[in-house]
Structure 1
Amino acid sequence: MGNPTEPARQGVALDAARLARWLDAEQVPGAGELPVIERLTGGSQNELYSLTRGGERTVLRMPPAAASASRVDGLRRELRLLRALRGTDVPHAELVAGDPTGDVLGMPFYVMRAIDGWSPTATWPAPFDTDPAARRGLAFELVDGIAKLSRVDWRARGLEGFGRPENFHDRQVDRWLTFLGAYRFRELPGLDEAAAWLRANRPATFEPGIMHGDYQFANVMFQHGAPARLAAIIDWEMTTVGDPLLDLGWALLGWDGDEPRTEGFYLDVSGMPRRAELLEHYERVSGRSTADIDYYLVLANWKLGVVLEKSYAAFTGGGTVDPKVETFGPLVLQLLATAADLARSLPARRG
């Protein structure tokens, strides 16, 4: 356990007494008790702390002490989103309370229910490591999560202005090419070909909804044991109001056509359902058509390649020493080649 009064936080200590008074005011269980605070690992964009008080465990999430203004604003957006998701059937860590002002601890933060579950890494835990039937359920549960998210009435839940869904697809290519232009340092075969196809084949219409923005196995948690049950969607940093079908395309990056990939993916997805089964499940739960899924698959591969290239550019320039980022170099090329190959195989629908 960490020190209950002053856990290290990059030179800034959490004031347990002040936090306790705020928890009391928010009517969080354990009135009058100092929370036992323990620093957690696993937060990439924000810091995580376990709070134990009143016999209950919650998790506090806040930006690091030296966070940029954009990261702080991102935390506030997460807090707003979690308020909006209260009472929905979307699996998530339920919001307990939050402070968007930063007056309590020096940074905005929020407290959420702790999730007792696991998040996929390089391997599956038992029984999903050896039982193909159980592993099938993981994929259905993954798709189920974003299908439920997509049907949340975002306007009724106070998310007007949370994103800019108008002309969402008209902006995608130019936005991400501009993003890439800030750090591009090498030739990227397939980039321009896929971009041209995306411009010419934008969906004529779409129904705006909440989209996670980075939806994949690594950003969800499952309950322990079989059958597979989605416990929570996590890491909401890129969430906006846009086109939820892009989340579906992102979730299906582990499939090659109708079948799960046998190589080139960060998880072993052998034994997973066929893509057609997952599309059918998504349509049934969300009420949305997946007729244009090929567009979203091209966009997902292309956009992910652009995003990962930023990390790889920093690595080659000595800006990061994380050894796993070195693997992004060939992965980016693979993603852009996949986007271009898929675009080349599809008939043009517009333009």
Structure 2
Amino acid sequence: MARDTDQLAAGLRDYLPRGAGITGVTTLSAGHSNETYLVDGIGEVLRMPPSEEGLLPPYDMARQHAVLSAVANSAPGVPLPPVLELCTDPSVLGDEFFLMGQVPGEAFEYAVPDWLAADPDAGAESVCRQWFDALLALHNMPAGAMPPGERTVQQEAQHWLDVARGAESMPVLVDILEDLAKRPPRTSGAPTPVHGDPKHGNCLWHEGRLTALLDWEMAQISEPLLDLGYVLMFHDQGEASLADAGFALPGWWSADRMIAEWEKGTGRTAIDVARYAVLGQAKVAAIISVGAYLFNSGRIADPRFQAFAGVLPAYVALLEKRAMAAG
């Protein structure tokens, strides 16, 4: 990241009424989009747009703050960090930002943590239960409580088609998204709040307890099956696996169990769910394509984006197989 953490600390000391307690700023995660930092001394987390070109502009800090505030107020079953100040004055730190309270926990995405590996049956069952309870709480939240921002399923498919085309993606990916935009999956009912990236890698865990669901930049009002399909596509990825740690554990919920729990918790039918899983995977493939395009065009030197180009063919091959099976 390009930001100077000493300058961030100095800016926050001047800006915050409690700024005198700040002893420094430590990078937590560059992410693939937004950046997060720990504000040492006061135990808070700073959220900012990417310091260099990112995957999914624009990065609307005010809207992210509004989404988190709305979910905290209207869906208490979704664990979140405390939502603190929003600053829309870029002169303070160089960009808009907001602050959150720090909560204990660690995320896992690429490797199963020791505490879960030691309890692969009941532990995995508990992880899935807590994870889905949070997702169900969001999908049952009143849509009117969310800040504006709504897309239909057709508009969602068209958006990722536009992203894929702009990144000069593989033709088969473009073809699949064109089909999804022309023949969008059917809906389960009225739109609800959706997270947009509800993978288990965006969950924080502390002593087996879900302490926060993070990364809300793609949250909107839409069809909740978009979230369910996104989660389901992590099953059985094989050599195309990106971030499915935990899915092979004996206590981890199967796809059928996830569908059944979602239907029970929402009172909806998971209609066309296989096609929603295809749309979720096509969305990820479009994002991977953007990373590869940014690296190959010399617009960003992040080695993670270089790795995207290597995994993309296998990932799109799996997507094509799933799209053919889904019809």
Give the TM interval when normalised to the shorter protein. Answer: 0.7 to 0.9
1:123 and 2:114 correspond: no
Residue 59 of structure 1 and its aligned partner are, at CA, apart by 0.9
Q: Whose radius of gyration is greater, 1 or 2?
A: 1
Please state whether the residue corresponding to 1:59 is helix, strand or coil. strand
Give the Cα separation in 2 of the matches to 1:72 and 1:12.
26
AA aligned opposite 2:139? S
In 2: Cα distance, 1:332 partner to 1:314 partner: 18
Cα displacement string for residues 28-84 of structure 1 (whole angstroms, at most 9, x for unaligned residues): xxx57331222223132233332244xx5111122355679x857522211111221
Is contact 2:275–2:323 with CA below 8 Å preserved after alignment? no
Distance 1:63 1:145, change over 3 A: same
Structure 2 residue ranges without an equivalent (≥5): none
- Judged with a 3 Å threshold, the aligned counterparts in structure 2 of structure 1 residues 136 and 204 are, in CA distance, closer, same or farther, namely closer
1:283 aligns with 2:271: no
Q: Is the 8 A contact 1:212 1:238 kept in 2?
A: yes
From 65, 78, 92, give the equivalent of 1:79.
Answer: 65
- Letter in structure 1 aligned against 2:49: P
Give distance in 1, aligned partners of 2:187 and 2:141. Answer: 22
When the two structures are aligned, how many residues end up with a matched partner? 314
Where does 1:1-351 land on structure 2 (aligned, <5 Å)?
Answer: 9-10=3-4, 13-14=7-8, 16=10, 19-20=12-13, 22-24=15-17, 31=18, 33-44=20-31, 45-53=33-41, 56-64=42-50, 73-87=59-73, 88-102=76-90, 104-133=92-121, 134-156=123-145, 159=147, 161=148, 163-165=149-151, 168-184=152-168, 186-188=170-172, 191-192=174-175, 195-196=178-179, 199-203=182-186, 206-224=189-207, 228-256=208-236, 264-265=240-241, 266=243, 267-270=245-248, 271=250, 272-319=252-299, 320=301, 321-322=303-304, 323-344=306-327
The aligned amino acid for 2:264 is R
Q: Distance in 2 between matches of 1:183 and 1:103?
A: 32
Q: Where does structure 1 lack aligned partners over 5 or more consecutive residues?
A: 1-7, 25-30, 345-351
Structure 1's 174 and 198: CA in aligned 2 closer, same or farther, altered over 3 A?
closer
Deviation, 1:185, is: 5.6
The offset of 1:249, in angstroms, is 0.9
Query: Which one-letter code corresponds to 2:179 in the other structure?
Result: A
Give a deviation string over 1:268-311, Cα, whole Å, max 9, x none.
42121222222222233334332332231121122222222222
Are residues 47 and 274 of structure 1, via their aligned partners in 2, closer, same or farther at CA, if it must alter by over 3 Å?
closer
In angstroms, what is the RMSD of aligned CA positions? 3.0
Aligned partner of 1:347 in structure 2 is none
- Counterpart Cα distance in 2 of 1:293 and 1:184: 28
- The residue type paired with residue 298 of structure 1 is V
**Distance change >3 Å, CA 297–CA 241, structure 1 → 2:** same
TM-score (norm 2): 0.82
SS at match of 2:60: helix
Deviations 1:241-261 (A, max 9, x none): 2222211111111224xxxx6
Contact 1:301 1:338 (C-alpha < 8 Å) held by counterparts:
no
